[in-house]
Structure 1
């Protein structure tokens, strides 16, 4: 059966590389495998559990929240405020780009959406100020990876739904790794501009003062505080917390005349389309993962790894596999394909599914910034046009050591992944 599972994995990757939608590739492989193994009737309970899970409502809510926050301007104003507060600092615009990505992610939940949006704002600002294009592009690319770990990350929601882990636990578990990653990125920027001051000239002062900047940015911290504080205190479920944030975002946007019927309709339309795509991947992924469990391939790989390899090396090899997957599939699909192996490896060493999810999500995001086809870098290069992907990859290389150091710390010290029971 292990050979059958391996053949199914290869088939999914090959079909996706041939431009078949990932949901259809997973669906075909999962249904065919279950039918051939005579296990099709076993799919009803897992599918029913997925489709009736309360946390499934997070998918449309988070997507609509991200679109509304974007159209209302809240998702990008963290960057604008940070640029004002850090003016006069060498490298301040790069730090503002990273902080802006964190603020965008805290409302939109999407790394690629963050990279596409912030690159159009932050990268031209840095280039006009005379920044090295490598630093300008790489700071947005690296900042975009924070969207994977900060709530309401869509990758954390997908992991929770497919692994049976409470999404609230996943949201809280990603906070400390996100902070460590953010600190590492800021340290690289400061080192870079100290070592090469010409890479980040200090631009002229901006017209807006720090007080006005803080007044403009206040909705984003309030929304994040409600989301994290409500979940951490146990007063709100993730669905309730996101719904409240969505209601407040709509209210703020309408009161400040930042939302119109046209933008609301555009946000709703985009959210519905994105929701349909994610739901199809979830259903197809559930079928495919059930078939993989029946084949026993993930458990066999984990047993072999536990018997022959140290745990850090086993997850390093999983990371290499994620990089290879990144050549053919998007982040959510990459996570679905790697999920059974991450869970099986964690079980083999007696570790929790929450920890495995955070490590795997971090691996997926690192895979998306590595050459030759790092999707986040390609998105930024396409959105900006004036910075070649090769220059962004070169800049990312300077950040990579500390980002891998954070990943190594998460693997070697699982307690860094804070879990709440």
Structure 2
């Protein structure tokens, strides 16, 4: 009962707009004090703070901020818009590709949604695209940031669960590619069914060759990150650090990074790092308390014995939707992590699969009604498309995303990298 009360308290305090880190810390502190387990709280926190992969938090944040101010994070969209300009629905496909490119350098779905909304949606609206298609393309594309390395959600999962972050980065690639393929298929089907939803835009003066020359830093950085980790030549920390150094060098050589921009990137990185590290400490305390209660293992054993795997994932998805009304993505991940880990153990699956599935569930919850956090971010950023219109457009993409989730449940090997 103490564990259930602590969870209810954490959710309630978050719903009352208390900072998530403080809500988790208060709930965990009260629970640990009540159970007489305060002496067990420090060792897991000390292990977290001494973990080498913790350096990924400031490095990834600085990489994302630097790439943004240098303009590298948005060039994928610009190049794709040029290359696909003669294809119906090309601007929507460019928006999705641009979101994937942004996510591959920033690691943030919400940051991607806020930025790409202002960049990708206005050209689509000027070209006469359906507002639902325009808004939904960016909203769906932004969810790729949850699975593509260096995703902050994957970093948080690895740090809190003790799973190697490099393994999480590689495991997220195939599900992300499957999700991307599903989004592309939906756009092509949409414009085939309704050609007026995506009129062909006016041709741009830039040639595809020039566009590709401008976009090369982003794929180079992604190849270094993934290739270095995959072949074992670089640790995740080293790979991200090299990508950051190259981003700084490219930005300075191309005169895209001014001293003012570098100062803004550094200041934002320090602020964001402080928030995330504090949240990680609070989450570690909260998870330590839940471990002492035995609730996650008990619920997981009951669910594994009583319900099919797809039914359990459906219940978890509904829980994510409910939590999405009051909690941010990292808080959703923390609250559900112990149960999903215990479920994976009951099913004989590893923590890497559990992390990818939970991140996918959180990603889907971010776009679903009645709230849809990413949809709200897109609507707030662009202000010309109502949330309801974007949600209606997102509904057309939902089936493809659910297919990817079902595939992960039925074929766990998809959450791995050869």
Q: TM-score, normalised by structure 1?
A: 0.99
Aligned to 1:273: 271
**Runs of 4+ off more than 4 Å:** none
Displacement of 1:419 after TM fit?
Answer: 4.7
Query: What SS is found at the alignment partner of 1:373?
Result: coil
Q: Is the 8 A contact 1:322 1:334 kept in 2?
A: yes
Q: Is the 8 A contact 1:354 1:419 kept in 2?
A: no
Aligned to 1:108: 106
- 1:322 matched to 2:320? The reply is yes
Displacement of 1:154 after TM fit?
Answer: 0.1
- 1:264 matched to 2:262? The reply is yes
Change (3 A) 1:249 1:156: same
Aligned to 2:212: 214
Q: Distance in 2 between matches of 1:385 and 1:131?
A: 16
Aligned to 2:304: 306
- 1:126 aligns with one of 124, 128, 141: 124
Q: Distance in 1 between matches of 2:327 and 2:164?
A: 26
- 1:52 matched to 2:45? The reply is no
Q: In the TM superposition, what are the counterparts of 1:17-36 in structure 2 within 5 Å?
A: 17-36=15-34
Q: Distance in 2 between matches of 1:42 and 1:222?
A: 45
Q: Is the 8 A contact 2:62 2:266 kept in 1?
A: yes
Q: Is the 8 A contact 2:131 2:385 kept in 1?
A: yes
Aligned to 2:153: 155
Q: Distance in 1 between matches of 2:380 and 2:93?
A: 22
Aligned to 1:195: 193
Q: Distance in 2 between matches of 1:401 and 1:196?
A: 19
Q: Is the 8 A contact 1:86 1:92 kept in 2?
A: yes
Q: Is the 8 A contact 2:174 2:417 kept in 1?
A: no
Displacement of 1:311 after TM fit?
Answer: 1.6
Aligned to 1:76: 74
- 1:205 matched to 2:203? The reply is yes
Aligned to 2:9: 11
Query: What SS is found at the alignment partner of 1:205?
Result: coil
Aligned to 2:382: 384
Q: Is the 8 A contact 2:360 2:405 kept in 1?
A: yes
Displacement of 1:204 after TM fit?
Answer: 1.2
Q: Distance in 1 between matches of 2:336 and 2:272?
A: 22
Query: What SS is found at the alignment partner of 1:151?
Result: coil
- 1:243 matched to 2:241? The reply is yes
Q: Distance in 2 between matches of 1:125 and 1:334?
A: 34
Aligned to 2:351: 353
Displacement of 1:206 after TM fit?
Answer: 0.5
**RMSD over aligned Cα, in angstroms?**
0.7
Q: Is the 8 A contact 1:57 1:239 kept in 2?
A: yes
Give aligned pairs, total.
Answer: 418
Q: TM-score, normalised by structure 2?
A: 0.99
Query: What SS is found at the alignment partner of 1:150?
Result: coil
- 1:375 aligns with one of 354, 373, 391: 373
Displacement of 1:284 after TM fit?
Answer: 0.2
Query: What SS is found at the alignment partner of 1:171?
Result: helix
Displacement of 1:372 after TM fit?
Answer: 1.2
Q: Distance in 2 between matches of 1:307 and 1:181?
A: 30
* Alignment deviations for residues 371-402 of structure 1 (CA, whole Å, 9 cap, x no partner): 11111000000000001100000000000001
- 1:296 matched to 2:294? The reply is yes
Q: Distance in 2 between matches of 1:303 and 1:217?
A: 49
- 2:402 aligns with one of 390, 401, 404: 404
Q: Distance in 1 between matches of 2:103 and 2:174?
A: 15
Aligned to 1:366: 364
- 1:171 aligns with one of 160, 169, 175: 169
Displacement of 1:316 after TM fit?
Answer: 1.4
Q: Is the 8 A contact 2:135 2:385 kept in 1?
A: yes
Q: Distance in 2 between matches of 1:259 and 1:53?
A: 32
Aligned to 1:286: 284
